[in-house]
Structure 1
């Protein structure tokens, strides 16, 4: 992040989830002054605007175990291409969601530039389902699996290669609701997961120290994928799939501050802000505060 140049990309995607409203997430985060926050920290900020995303009412859901597969695939391809172009200009891509299915395109775009990319996945969920294991068929529960090369070929092969990332370079932080198929995959692939139990026992500082070692060892870049439902619903009520007992506001800031100090990140995305379910844009404001921390904001 040394070049201090950021390009914001909005992806108003809500095809990957059942609950409507998350398509307004990029606007809510912008309204919470994300550009002003970053500019105030000395960053050169360009806003690419939003990618065009189909509305669910205009399209057929398709296969129930892979809802809106065709539409999500096309948006993911466009996002991957957009990120590729941004990185080629020497700028840091900051992606605003939208539901977490946008990570399929984000990881595909970044993987073109990083042969071995580390991933820090802040989330209450694993997002490691496939069509065979998903209880809902919602693709926002599948992006990490897709990045690992598991899932429908249309998604897995975006960019022309798979897998994009390796399990030993991935860390999930804040998990507290995993489906059985995800638990099996985590054990089989040896994916490191810090559940809320681990955070309670170890403390966020120790969790981040170990996470940073994992994602930096032998890698040539690190991507941060932060789902706002990783935070406790008290601090981030405007999310589609809230789970009680999450990461506190202060723990989240510590994690972002430690990421900033490590200076490893090559891309970041903040997803699942749903203004319809929010109170006074609190969740988008929390997202912007965390963005501030990860891009260098300090108390002193």
Structure 2
């Protein structure tokens, strides 16, 4: 296939791009390479796919030196004119839309960034899919849409109308916008509610990276809600191995679908920290703090629907996932 991957310099986008190229697909990747976190990591991911920092010019295609079927374009989602030209100039079979302004806490102080990228940007993606008859749009939603829901595990059959942050509200908005386009124009769309993805090349603002860095530097770990939280940590390889078959197979019965992608087994923050300590051979210095605004106590994915589509396969254990991340972190 010929696939547009947005956010291809990001964590999940980078891994998906590599997986698509390895199986022989042609990939056009776009990313605005913003400075929400260290751009050096984004350029390092791009370098792994044969895109050098020096070759990148905004709006211009850059061919990979390693993969003949990969082209990267630095491009902002809300650049309406260039997004229109991108869809007009290519013939995509599918779009995997992973680019977004991420982060719950950042949305408390920089709300406009979420509207520009997650709302205006997503609108440009939907319009491109409508005008150029894309066969399947797969897009990143988030477990954060469950917000203040108390019923666990989180199921896609539950109402998700009580977001605890603007970030979550924009992700739920994306689902509603996708539903409208699926209903009106018959565009097959699949929204993926990711649950705390971690692994090599991960985001520095996420728990595993933050905790590892603090322990290595002998700095205090900021442990919110005094550590009394659980997360459904999901290893990156498990995410990619589920995205690929979903991308290939839009729903045959309903053009609109929403799926959870998580391990389906939450663990406590303290147990997660213990695994990091074990792999680093160092003890953490804890700084216990109250709950942050926009945060939730626990996430837990009901993956019944996902497994009906993708089959039941083993998930990477927390022990193995943390070990692989630490091995990467020490070499990066």
TM over 0.5: same fold?
Answer: no
**Does 1 or 2 have the higher relative contact order (CA < 8 Å, sep 6+)?**
1
TM-score category of the 2 structures, normalised to the smaller one? 0.3 to 0.5
TM-score normalised to the size of structure 1? 0.40
TM-score normalised to the size of structure 2? 0.37
Q: Which has the larger radius of gyration?
A: 2
